[in-house]
Amino acid sequence: MMSVKVIIPTPLRVYAGKRDSAEFAAATVGEALGNLTKEFGELRKHLYTEEGKLRAFVNVYLNDEDIRYLAKENTPTKDGDTISIVPSIAGGSCQGVFAAR
């Protein structure tokens, strides 16, 4: 089994016990993410739809490549790889559409 590091982006850290990264044994990207959501259950709905698909506004990278251009969740991982979760963020002056007023 390969040990891969998953980097958790700021907006999702609150659902991952404030961790900014976590390491898992995994042979594919999908397995690593599965282990991530098993450990941090609340992350699941932010990363996956009810049908179990990765949400379209969340991008996943293996090292510096978008997994959409690799083998998606079946992309094999090796020891020491880094998986980055990159959600869309929109803040700029921070009085956004969703700001509580």
Partner 1 sequence: MATTLQAQTGAKPATSLSNEEILRYSRHLIMPEVGMEGQLKLKNAKVLLIGTGGLGAPLGLYLAAAGVGRLGLVDFDVVDFTNLQRQVTFGSSDVGKPKTAAASARLSNLNPDIQIETYETKLTSENALELFKDFDIIVDGTDNFPTRYLVNDACVLLGKPNVYGSIFRFEGQATVFGMPEGPCYRCLYPEPPPPGLVPSCAEGGVLGVLPGIVGSIQAMETIKLILGSGDNLIGRLLLFDALGMKFRELKLRKNPACPMCGEHRTIHKLIDYYEFCGVRGEEAPAPDVQVPEITPRELKTRLDRGDDLFILDVREPHEFQICNLNGHLIPLGELPRRVHELDSSREIIAHCRSGKRSAESVDFLRKAGFRKILNLKGGILAWSDEVDPSVPKY
Tokens of 49: 């739809």
Encoded one letter per residue, x for contact with partner 1 by CB under 8 A and - for no contact, window 17-56 reads: ---x---------------------x---x--------xx
Under 8 Å CB-to-CB from 14, ≥6 apart: which residues? Answer: none
Tokens of 53: 């698909």
Edge-first strand listing for the sheet containing 82-87: 21-25, 3-7, 82-87, 58-62, 65-66
Nearer to partner 1, 9 or 34 (CB): 9
Binding to partner 1 by residue 76, rule CB under 8 A? Answer: no
Binding to partner 1 by residue 14, rule CB under 8 A? Answer: yes
Q: Which of 24, 30, 61, 77 binds partner 1 (CB under 8 A)?
A: 61
